[in-house]
């Protein structure tokens, strides 16, 4: 069953003080604008209906307003579309305005902050007052604009003092405090791109040496989105991803121009300060590639080229999309043509985009040399890794006529099938990942180039949890895990780190596990479905099964609703978002083309996968 989380959102109970004006981007909808009249308070629900057509501006404090009204007015003004929070600062004392840093932290509450003014014992209300803000916290955004889900009770105090005859806030809350609906209206998720750092241990043929990794952040929608996106990229990766990616921009690089825009041919020209201008042609091309993929997420049209220039306007380099493709996210470099699944005879079958008729693959996994319970197809679609029907043996073999199965690469000694091997997964460098769930020796393993000796990967934060399934990203630096703890299975994202102590034998670990779908109590399956997006099958506490998209940072921004489907046991997606989903449901193997509904492929089959 599909679920649209956005239908559950509610606007903040605060009544917004706002001046609403027709957006300049509208082709119609405002025949004229009144040139007189009062500024009225507009209910938040009215703002929701008019969201796409208005810009929201705060209302300054009025003479004689009491402390509770001042706090409400300040909170409402922080939800405006002003770049510098000029109106919100009018509610602060001069000293508080100078020290207040609105982007040091953003706290997101389910229904918005609720202020309550109390007078502590001994406090004189004629000169000093204290207001308490409280609400149910659902997430935070740090100073690098990284989103992190986390539920809890939020409580803080706001102190006010008299400035002349008027109340003003001299101790505001840290950063911004927003209701969820206001946060969604004001902010948009944007992928910044940085180069994967894989520690030099990639030896497989066709390994991706220079590949971009998506780093999602939240930026304000209407405040010069193109310029703010470029500046966010130059600040560097978020703290969680920083250890496994790098930027080609020299430290201290800044944009010279105050505002950036596309020219008439959709080209972007960015002038850099001296720190960013002292680079060679190859490094400049990599910098331009980072920019192109990052700004494309914000631009309303296809970027035709990115030009980097010195402060005096002289050219550093120019890169077009065709040239930038050499650095594309790994999942977009390999254009897969097939989906795969295990047929009724436990053999590997393939399904092409343009056909509804599956066919068995060539080689030992299609000819019955080994009966399969699950499979992983490498991203070149030349090799496959198959787990035997009893889930105790792993085989790797070519998908070509006459190829032999060979000996098992890995064997589990678990007593029960449910405690044996998970389905395997390939990264874009040709390395194979799998977990052995044996209670007497649980292990996460990686086989270098798909054929090397299984190497154990340490997961410090796993604790007593058990890995039920895994999917590695094409870049090889992020690993999605299904982890069971205390009877609940969650989707968690880990960062793959390589130790430099011995480059010939890298020490691997998966660190800082993040809960990606915290609203789901039981996750049954997950698959990468974009550079920073996964598709997940799971249930909320006491709820019914859901099939939905989630972002790698745990948010649910810009996620389309999926058509309902019954009894999903497994799902597969491509990191190319234009490819159809494929799932194992109670009806059989089904496929979801773009802008269509689920279509039955075959009534018998299991374990659908895309290469990866």
Bridge pairing between strands 305-309 and 267-271 = parallel
Bridge pairing between strands 54-57 and 41-42 = unpaired
- The residues with which 547 forms a beta bridge, in sequence order, are 2, 537
CA dist 175 and 444 (Å) reads 40
The token pair that represents 532 in the structure block: 């920073």
* Least confident segment among 232-241, 333-342, 374-383, 593-602: 333-342
Q: Within a 10 A sphere around the Cβ of 209, how many other Cβ atoms? A: 11
CA 371 vs CA 6, 186, 405, 572: distances in Å? 43, 53, 11, 21
CA dihedral 535, 539, 544, 549 (to 10 degrees): -20
CA dist 394 and 384 (Å) reads 10
CA dist 344 and 341 (Å) reads 10
Q: Where do the domains of the chain lie, and which CATH numbers do they carry?
A: 5-26+38-188 (no CATH), 191-330 (no CATH), 331-609 (2.120.10.30)
Supply the pLDDT for residue 337.
78
> In residues, how long is the chain?
612
Mean pLDDT of the 148-160 span: 94
Q: Model confidence over 102-150: pLDDT tens digits?
A: 999 999 999 989 888 765 555 556 789 999 999 999 999 999 999 999 9
CA dist 248 and 308 (Å) reads 13
Confidence of residue 198 (pLDDT cuts 50, 70, 90): confident
Q: Which residue would you say has higher pLDDT here, 562 or 236?
A: 236
Classify residue 44 as exposed, middle or buried by CB count within 10 Å of its CB (0-12, 13-18, 19+): buried
Residue 257 in contact with residue 272, Cβ under 8 Å? no
Q: Within a 10 A sphere around the Cβ of 130, how many other Cβ atoms? A: 18
The token pair that represents 228 in the structure block: 């703010």
CA 61 to chain centroid: 38
Q: Within a 10 A sphere around the Cβ of 162, how many other Cβ atoms? A: 16
Tokens 């990606």 found at:
516
Mean pLDDT of the 332-339 span: 78
Q: 256-273 as b/e, with b when 16 or more CB fall inside 10 Å?
A: beeebebeeeeebbbbbe
Supply the pLDDT for residue 600.
94
Radius of gyration of the chain (CA): 27
Confidence of residue 200 (pLDDT cuts 50, 70, 90): low
CA dist 213 and 59 (Å) reads 41
Measuring CA to CA, which residue among 133, 288, 298, 317 is closest to residue 227?
298
* Whether residue 35 has pLDDT greater than 70: no
CA dist 533 and 526 (Å) reads 10
Confidence of residue 335 (pLDDT cuts 50, 70, 90): confident
- DSSP 8-state code for residue 8: G
CA dist 236 and 247 (Å) reads 7
Q: Within a 10 A sphere around the Cβ of 252, how many other Cβ atoms? A: 10
Measuring CA to CA, which residue among 54, 59, 53 is closest to residue 18?
59
Q: 411-432 as b/e, with b when 16 or more CB fall inside 10 Å?
A: ebebeeeebbbbbbbbbbbbbb
Q: Which residue would you say has higher pLDDT here, 205 or 315?
A: 315
Residue 562 in contact with residue 592, Cβ under 8 Å? yes
User: Which residues are within 8 A (CB) of 287 and not within 5 positions of it... i.e. 6 or more apart?
Assistant: 248, 249, 276, 279, 308, 317
Strand ranges across the sheet with 432-436? 425-426, 432-436, 443-447, 455-457
Q: Model confidence over 391-435: pLDDT tens digits?
A: 999 999 999 998 999 999 999 999 999 999 999 999 999 999 999
Confidence of residue 188 (pLDDT cuts 50, 70, 90): very high
Q: Model confidence over 213-272: pLDDT tens digits?
A: 999 999 999 899 999 999 999 999 999 999 999 999 999 999 999 999 999 999 999 999
Confidence of residue 556 (pLDDT cuts 50, 70, 90): confident
Q: Model confidence over 41-100: pLDDT tens digits?
A: 343 333 333 344 467 888 999 999 999 999 999 999 999 999 999 999 999 999 999 999
CA 237 vs CA 91, 226, 240, 287, 513: distances in Å? 34, 18, 8, 14, 17
């Amino acid at each position: 069953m599909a679920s649209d989380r956005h239908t559950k959102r509610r606007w903040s109970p605060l009544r917004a003080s706002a001046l609403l004006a027709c957006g300049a981007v509208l082709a119609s909808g405002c025949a004229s604008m009144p040139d007189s009249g009062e500024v009225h308070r507009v209910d938040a629900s009215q703002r929701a209906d008019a969201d796409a057509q208005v810009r929201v501006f705060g209302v300054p404090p009025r003479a004689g307003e009491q402390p509770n009204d001042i706090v409400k007015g300040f909170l409402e003004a922080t939800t405006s579309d002003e770049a510098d929070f000029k109106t919100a600062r009018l509610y602060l004392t001069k000293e508080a305005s100078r020290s207040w840093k609105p982007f040091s932290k953003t706290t997101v509450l389910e229904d918005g902050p609720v202020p309550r003014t109390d007078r502590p014992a001994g406090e004189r209300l004629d000169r000093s007052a204290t207001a308490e803000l409280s609400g149910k916290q659902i997430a935070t955004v740090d100073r690098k604009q990284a989103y992190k889900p986390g539920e809890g009770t939020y409580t803080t105090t706001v102190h006010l003092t008299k400035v002349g005859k008027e109340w003003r806030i001299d101790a505001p809350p840290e950063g911004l405090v927003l209701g969820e609906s206001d946060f969604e209206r004001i902010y948009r998720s944007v992928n910044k791109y940085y180069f994967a750092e894989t520690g030099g241990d990639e030896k497989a043929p066709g390994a991706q040496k220079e590949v971009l990794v998506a780093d999602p952040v939240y930026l304000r929608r209407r405040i010069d989105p193109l310029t703010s996106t470029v500046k966010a990229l130059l600040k560097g990766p978020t703290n969680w991803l920083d250890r496994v990616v790098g930027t080609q921009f020299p430290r201290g690089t800044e944009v010279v121009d105050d505002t950036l825009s596309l020219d008439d041919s959709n080209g972007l020209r960015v002038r850099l300060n001296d720190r960013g201008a002292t680079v060679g042609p190859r490094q400049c091309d990599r910098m331009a590639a980072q920019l192109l993929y990052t700004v494309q997420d914000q631009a309303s049209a296809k970027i035709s080229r990115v030009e980097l220039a010195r402060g005096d306007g002289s050219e550093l380099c120019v890169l077009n999309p065709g040239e930038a493709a050499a650095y594309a996210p790994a999942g977009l470099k390999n254009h897969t043509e097939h989906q795969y699944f295990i047929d009724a005879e436990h053999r590997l079958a393939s399904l092409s985009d343009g056909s509804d008729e599956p066919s068995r693959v060539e080689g030992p996994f299609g000819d019955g040399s080994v009966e399969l319970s699950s499979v992983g197809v490498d991203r070149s679609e030349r090799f496959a890794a198959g787990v035997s029907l009893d889930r105790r043996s792993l085989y790797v073999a070519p998908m070509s006529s006459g190829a032999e199965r060979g000996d098992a690469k890995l064997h589990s000694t678990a007593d029960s099938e449910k405690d044996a091997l998970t389905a395997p997964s390939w990264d874009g460098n040709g390395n194979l990942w799998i977990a052995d769930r044996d209670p007497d020796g649980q292990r996460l393993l990686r086989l270098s180039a798909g054929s090397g000796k299984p190497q154990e990967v340490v997961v410090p934060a796993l604790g007593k949890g058990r890995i039920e399934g895994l999917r590695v990203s094409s870049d090889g630096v992020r690993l999605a895990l299904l982890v069971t703890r205390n009877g609940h299975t969650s989707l968690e994202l880990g960062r793959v780190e390589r130790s430099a102590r011995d480059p010939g034998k890298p020490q691997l670990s998966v660190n800082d596990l993040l809960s990606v779908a915290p609203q789901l109590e039981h996750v049954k399956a997950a698959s990468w479905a974009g550079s920073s997006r996964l598709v997940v099958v799971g249930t909320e506490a006491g709820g019914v099964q859901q099939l939905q998209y989630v972002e790698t940072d745990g948010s649910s921004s810009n996620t389309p609703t999926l058509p309902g489907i019954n009894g999903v046991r497994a799902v597969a997606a491509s990191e190319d978002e234009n490819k159809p989903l494929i799932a194992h449901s109670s009806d059989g193997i089904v496929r979801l083309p773009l802008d269509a509904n689920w279509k039955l492929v075959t009534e018998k089959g299991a374990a659908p996968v895309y290469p990866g």
